Amino acid sequence: MNFTPIDNKGLVDGYCIIKSIEQKTSSKGDNYLDMMLGDSEGEINAKLWRYSPELHGEYGVNELVKIRGLISQYNGADQLKIERIRHTTAEDNVNIADFVKTAVFSGEEMFSELLNIAENFSDSELSKIVTAILKDNRMCLLYWPAAFKLHHAVRGGLLLHTVSIVRLCEKVCEIYPFVDKELLISGAILHDIAKLSEFSVAESGIATGYSAEGNLLGHLAMGAMVIERYAEKLGISQKTAMLLEHMVLSHHGEPEFGAAVRPMFIEAELLSELDLMDSRIYEMREALNETKADDFSGRIWAMDNRKLFNHDRKDLKQEIKLF
């Protein structure tokens, strides 16, 4: 956390975003707030003891606040005892987007790259449907995360995940020239497009939960519906639409992981494998960045509860190279 030290006894102040908040009652019967505060560098548990809405104000998730408090150790981890808290104002001149984890490339840069690729497809149908979907969803794509809590759950994470897979597709097609490169890349660009409807996302670019559609339908089914709707509107052939819909419906690989069907042609299989690869490498890197050299991480739920070993042979903080 990027707090400013006030003294040498642990007193700090600074701006942060409320990632979670719950009002509780202490053993003495006093109300207090139990919060998780964060910024672009990390997060910390915080307590506001003897909480009074009239005295301290009322707060909610994803609000940007200014705090002053004392950092101490509790059960081996840092904890912040809040002494002062307030809402930010225009005079503070702070931007909420600066206080959340953000993709290393700008949304505009990543969006422009995908649009340029799609506009230059030799297949006119693929070019028409992919560019139309991209252009119609530009504003959300610029900052949308790829997940609620798991891989690429950062501002701009959806485009980061998408461009990463597109780059992997390009390299795979150099090795396997029989793969339909434009079909594979089209599937990669569109495979998670319905995450724009699956999550509720705050101004910060962080998902706050699932929408009703997201809970009831999921982004695979909704993604196929998006393709079907655009294909009908743009006059795309039934076969082209069917291939794209299958890639979206099957990209989770197995029914137990949410796939409606298993991949049934080469490009669908490659998309499923590359999607899994990119998501798992992201999860592993995040976990190992928090693990000491020559030590094991805690068990990672998204990695089948595996512990991961940090061999420390490479600098894991190096950024990925997409451009």
Per-domain residue ranges of the chain: 4-98, 100-289
- Of 189, 244, 248, 247, nearest to 222 by C-alpha is 248
pTM (predicted TM-score): 0.83
Beta strand ranges found along the chain (DSSP E): 4-5, 11-25, 31-39, 42-48, 64-74, 77-87, 199-201, 207-210
The helix (run of H) or strand (run of E) holding residue 275 is helix 266-289
**Which segments within 75-174 are labelled E, that is strand?**
77-87
CB 66 within 8 A of CB 15: yes
Work out the widest C-alpha separation in the chain, in whole angstroms: 71
Tokens of 32: 């207090």
Q: For 2-18, what is each residue's pLDDT tens digit?
A: 788 888 777 899 999 89
Question: Is CATH 3.40.190.10 the right assignment for the domain spanning 4-98?
Answer: no
Give the CATH architecture of domain 100-289. Answer: Orthogonal Bundle (1.10)
Separation of alpha carbons 200 and 207, rounded Å: 6
Kindly state the tokens that stand for 168.
């992997």
Given pLDDT bands bounded at 50, 70 and 90, which one contains residue 98?
Answer: confident
pLDDT in tens, 164-177: 999 999 999 999 99
